Structure 1
């Protein structure tokens, strides 16, 4: 009787032990798979998005980022100091020392002064002072002069891009006008350039583009005309409704 009970008890416990063993094996397999995935993730090279982009240093801050964010990207914001601030009526910047820009803090990777960065800083300083004017004092003079920036830096920064833009506009407008004249009169492009009238019209097109570069230039010339005729209009307004004395 005892043997039968023992067999029955063993028959009952056996399935339970089997389920426990299977569960333990499943958990071990899951843990092993997780560990393997972790190791594979550590060994796998991170993608550009996972590591925060492909650029490092100031370039990682973006193309048009301010000096503050460029310094933060380089990890120098904590020790460099304030950037383009007005503190108690004084202009503060860690690169502004003794009333001028410290050019040693504007050197690029090649060891030369980055004049574009100097121009950006000076433009930002003047814009800040234009928006929030502060008094000038003899104790805090401004000694920096834009003439210290080489002429070729100004040409490369402003004149060359402007010249490229104007040359492109002149070429497009000249081609369109020449095509219009060709369709209207039958005179080809070479004949137009060789004729006196064609050369005059070509110069008119070029000078018109030089004078009117943007739509805002139209308002500028309109204001000039208004200023040139303002006193004449004012003089004529004083005689409205009155008889002017005879010149005789």
Structure 2
């Protein structure tokens, strides 16, 4: 094992919680930490302004000075980048799943604000219907009703105020291209073959920034490979750890 004494932190996607990692079986290879980000999974949201650096600070507090492999899916990958930005000395490697280096476009930020405002007014009830078509790949929708149901449950159980906070925090995140270009750490980039939110060219552009990046594409998966293809995802991470 390349990192025998280094924990692996995996940060969940929006708008899910730590349970999205339940089928990922890498605990036999590495100490695995899968915390809920603030507000998700019933954790307190607090009163801080929306900022992924605030979530990164929570991760740094969790690590308590230990170096770690830091990774995440979608929103979780953006938080991992924020940890690298704010505490690079703690990051021994990165696992970036379904993420991009660039900041949101103006249109993307506007879409996030629309959902944030609606979530504040209506709660999380509408979010699953709005997001499920894009969160999961076509094959998952057709053949894995259990996964579709599980994602729907996770989304519907989150708090509307947390959804609004996280959307605004993601919309405010900076471009991380220069940060990653200078990151001299081993990196695993995982994407789903059927991910319509992060197309293949964006995953390739992310990998091109990083001198020590390896890209794995998981067939039949969309934006949430750890839930759609957990065995394949586990295998990719385990091989990378070795």
Superposition TM-score, scaled by structure 2 size? 0.20
Q: Larger Rg: 1 or 2?
A: 1
Highest RCO, 1 vs 2 (Cα 8 Å, sep ≥ 6) = 2
Give the TM-score normalised by the residue count of structure 1. 0.19
Q: Which has the higher helix share?
A: 1
Greater fraction strand: 2
